[in-house]
Amino acid sequence: MITPANNLDWTLLFHAFEDALEWAFDAAQDFARQFPAEVDAVERVRAFTRRQNSGRPGQLHINDLLFTFALVAGALERDVGFIATPSQFQVRFAQPANRV
């Protein structure tokens, strides 16, 4: 949706991903569970996202957002198993099928 000021209304996108975002916040919190300050940062991002989705403006420190994103990436790497080298990037979900 385009607003009168010709800006995209990102709220529709955020609503579409509410469950995924909540899951990601839960994963980030679990990954940082031993560090209360880090869990608080995730909660600030979660609260901001919920405010935005309900149409209420809010403010968020970029450090909290980036840190939460890094926690989600760390949890994903822990649970899924990324392999990253300078020449390739591969995600291991299952063993590759043998080709004949």
Question: pTM (2 decimals)?
Answer: 0.69
Q: For all residues of the chain together, what is the average pLDDT?
A: 81
Q: What is the CA radius of gyration of the chain?
A: 17
Stated length of the chain:
100
Name the nearest CA neighbour of 67 among 84, 43, 90. 43
CA dist., res. 57 & res. 63, Å (int): 18
Across residues 64-75, what is the average pLDDT? Answer: 93
Dist. CA 32–CA 69, nearest whole Å: 12
Confidence check: pLDDT of 57 > 70: yes
Nearest to 57 by CA among 65, 44, 45, 48: 48
Check residue 95 and give its pLDDT: 54
Confidence of residue 63 (pLDDT cuts 50, 70, 90): very high
pLDDT cut 90: percent of the chain above it? 44
Is the pLDDT at 2 greater than 50? The verdict is: no
Residues 8-43: tens digit of each pLDDT: 777 778 788 899 999 999 999 999 999 999 999 999
